[in-house]
A = this chain, B = another copy of it.
Amino acid sequence: MNELAVSLPGLKLKNPIMPASGCFGFGHEYSNYYDLSELGAVIMKAATGNARLGNPTPRVAETASGMLNAIGLQNPGVDKIIEYEVPFLANFDTSIIANIAGSTIEEYEMVAAAFNYTEDVHALELNISCPNVKEGGIQFGTDPVMAAKVTERVKRVSKLPVYVKLSPNVADIVEMAKAVEAAGADGLSMINTLTGMQIHLPSKRPLIANKTGGLSGPAIKPIAIRMIYEVKQNVDLPIIGMGGICSAEDVLEFLLAGASAVAVGTANFGNPLVCKEIIDELPDVLSRYGFASVQEAMGKAVFV
């Protein structure tokens, strides 16, 4: 077996590296830089029931070792994604994960169900960091009861394995993970962004037009590692880890903490070749620290 290969529910990956949702579009642009068949998988930009135009601009701001974004789930809607985007990605020898979002449980169900009718999507990533319109804007991702509910309902309609993407904006990440595990999640994906704000001094306004945005990049890596560690000690689900990954060393740190695969987000912006470079360097880094394979490194941090 390939030393980089990993198996997760529904996913046989040639390596554990995938671009994170929202940081890679649907792959067109980055396919100019390298062959997407090199990737373990691609996680697509969030899909919602109908097309969404997203937030006003500016939508991004740079922060110390990180960035804020408030794209606002702009996407052409699930039907167009299935019609135009999935077929493009299906040209490559890589797995496809659909990130799904919605403002109501019904919208999540509808989007999830739509992906039942394509053979080319291998798993769903359930983005629960969206405010629930019906419940007055409370986030699915910060309330364990609501998180469990949307997970269960999506599981019921989908034939694909469901990775629930956890929000780090909570006091107790283990409680959230346990709730979605009990609700039938096949895996976890963590972490999404932390809510942040930057004020532009000349205009005295939040730089991001939406006021707040999601903080990502190396700045949040220690929080991601801590949360994956905590969850891994308490929950049995496989974890797709993310948050600030820039290098093969970072990947190993996530594997040691308990991730089974990883996603690379913000780092693509500073280096469009980053995923490919990480894949190329990973074997060396594994062996430098005494591991023969990705499989062997998983969860191998010593916590006692």
Q: Are B249 and A225 in contact (CB under 8 A)?
A: no
In the complex the two chains form, what is the Cα distance from A201 to B286 in whole Å?
A: 10
A98 to chain B, nearest CB (A): 27
Nearest residue (CB) in B for A176 is: B171
Partner of A223, one of B195, B301, B302: B195
In the complex the two chains form, what is the Cα distance from A63 to B211 in whole Å?
A: 27
Nearest residue (CB) in B for A170 is: B171
In the complex the two chains form, what is the Cα distance from A256 to B206 in whole Å?
A: 10
Stretch binding the partner chain, chosen from A13-21, A80-88, A214-222, A269-277: A214-222
Nearest residue (CB) in B for A142 is: B171
A300 CB–B CB distance under 8 Å: yes
Stretch binding the partner chain, chosen from A45-53, A64-72, A151-159, A179-187: A64-72
A204 CB–B CB distance under 8 Å: yes
Q: Are B257 and A199 in contact (CB under 8 A)?
A: yes
A104 CB–B CB distance under 8 Å: no
Interface of A is mostly: mixed
Q: How many residues of A contact B (CB 8 A)?
A: 49
Q: Are A204 and B171 in contact (CB under 8 A)?
A: no
Nearest residue (CB) in B for A304 is: B205
Flag A238-267 by CB within 8 Å of B: 1 or 0 each. Answer: 000000100001001100110000000000
Q: Are A201 and B171 in contact (CB under 8 A)?
A: no
Q: Are A222 and B198 in contact (CB under 8 A)?
A: yes
A295 CB–B CB distance under 8 Å: no
A117 CB–B CB distance under 8 Å: no
A303 CB–B CB distance under 8 Å: yes
Q: Are A196 and B289 in contact (CB under 8 A)?
A: no
Given that A204-B302, A300-B204 are known contacts, is A196 also in contact with B222, CB under 8 Å in the complex? yes
Closest 7 CB pairs of A and B: A196-B222, A64-B218, A219-B219, A65-B65, A64-B65, A197-B226, A142-B171
Residues of A within 8 A of B (CB): 63-66, 68, 139, 142-143, 169-172, 194-199, 201-206, 211-213, 215, 217-223, 225-226, 229, 244, 249, 252-253, 256-257, 289, 300-303
Can you list 30 A-B pairs with a CB-CB distance of less than 8 A?
A63-B218, A63-B219, A64-B221, A64-B244, A66-B219, A142-B171, A170-B171, A171-B171, A195-B223, A195-B226, A196-B225, A196-B226, A197-B222, A197-B226, A197-B229, A198-B222, A198-B225, A199-B301, A201-B249, A201-B256, A201-B289, A203-B302, A205-B301, A205-B303, A206-B229, A211-B229, A211-B303, A213-B222, A215-B222, A218-B219
